[in-house]
Amino acid sequence: MPEEIANAAPAEASAPADGDGGAVDTGAAGSAPDFPSADEFGWDTWDGTHDAIPEQLRPWAQKFEGHYTKEARLAREEAERNRSLYEAMMEGREDPRISEYKTKWETEAQTLQRHKQEFETQKSQYDAYRQRVEQHFEQEAEQEVLAWEAANSWILDGGPVQEAAKELITEGFDYEELPAILVMPTGMQEVARKQMKELSASGAKNAGKLAIRLAKAEFQLDEPSPAVALVNGTKPPVSARVSDGPPGRDSSLQEQTQHFVRLALAKR
């Protein structure tokens, strides 16, 4: 019995298998068509069209054609330029490049001129606008000075009060601060001027107003003393508080008015 099984095993193993285990038929339907090698392609009879080459190579052929057509076109253009140049040189004519560069230079010169004209126009418009703004500030400053002179005629006495006002302006006090500091007693005024000097050196903003307030605080006075005898017999207003000015006051207008007040003090 064991011998029979042993003899039967090789027979079963050598039997051909059905289905997937069968031999592969290389000539079955669906295999890729024959693809000629480069040596087998009929180069001598090829008409140069894409349709005459294997279909798998046609996309590549189109790309190669586009690449080399561009290269050939550029080469022809360069050759044509060189031919024109050499012919012009041989015949004694003007170098073609001179005309090309001249045209390019003229175009750039025209562009530059146009930009220059645009700049001049914009500059002229800006200068005209700036002049109108400066005139506006000057007119407003003159009106402010007239109003200030009318309200503080006792300062423009042509005597010691006016001289003191000129000194305070030189030290950096604002024209609006003059009435408040000029009515101070001598000691308080000295403190205010000392504070002004220190605050200005430190770069503090509104140094004059702050100096006046510090002097008042040191002497514990809420209101400046009105008892100031003037040379012409007039007295300053009872209330000479320091004002910060109206909201949104322009610094340029303030500086212009300060300048005109300084001039007014110097003239009288």
Model confidence at 247: pLDDT above 50: no
Q: Pseudo-torsion of CA 9, 13, 16, 18, nearest 10°?
A: 100
Choose the weakest-confidence range: 1-5, 152-156, 176-180, 213-217: 1-5
d(CA 206, CA 243): 11
Task: Give the contacts of 218 (CB within 8 A, at least 6 positions apart).
Answer: 188, 191
Q: Please check whether residue 212 is in contact with residue 177, taking contact to mean a CB–CB distance below 8 angstroms.
A: yes
Mean pLDDT of 119-129: 94
pLDDT, tens digit, 9 for 90 and up, residues 142-179: 888 888 888 888 888 788 888 888 899 889 998 888 98
Handedness of CA 115, 116, 121, 125 (dihedral sign): positive
| The three-state (H, E, C) secondary structure of the chain, written as one string | CHHHHHHHHHHHHCCCCCHHHCCCCCCCCCCCCCCCCCCCCCCCCCCCCHHHCCHHHHHHHHHHHHHHHHHHHHHHHHHHHHHHHHHHHHHCCCCHHHHHHHHHHHHHHHHHHHHHHHHHHHHHHHHHHHHHHHHHHHHHHHHHHHHHHHHCCCCCCCCHHHHHHHHHHHHCCCHHHHHHHHCCCHHHHHHHHHHHHHHHHHCCCCHHHHHHHHHHHHHCCCCCCCCCCCCCCCCCCCCCCCCCCCCCCCHHHHHHHHHHHHHHHHHC
Closest CA to 221 of 245, 199, 196, 242: 242
- Between the alpha carbon of residue 13 and those of residues 1, 6, 10, 19, 200, the distances in Å are 19, 11, 5, 16, 114
Bigger pLDDT: 168 or 60? 168
Predicted model pTM? 0.42
Average pLDDT taken over every residue of the chain:
74
Closest CA to 184 of 159, 218, 153, 158: 218
Per-domain residue ranges for the chain? Answer: 152-267
Kindly report the number of other CB atoms within 10 A of residue 188's CB atom.
19
Q: Pseudo-torsion of CA 92, 96, 102, 108, nearest 10°?
A: -170
Q: Please check whether residue 166 is in contact with residue 266, taking contact to mean a CB–CB distance below 8 angstroms.
A: yes
Q: Report residue 118's pLDDT band, with 50, 70 and 90 as the boundaries.
A: very high
Question: Tokens in use for 243?
Answer: 């004002």
Terminal Cα-to-Cα distance of the chain (whole angstroms):
151
Mean pLDDT of 22-39: 56
pLDDT, tens digit, 9 for 90 and up, residues 189-200: 999 999 999 999
pLDDT attached to residue 131: 92
CA–chain centroid gap for 123, Å, is: 19
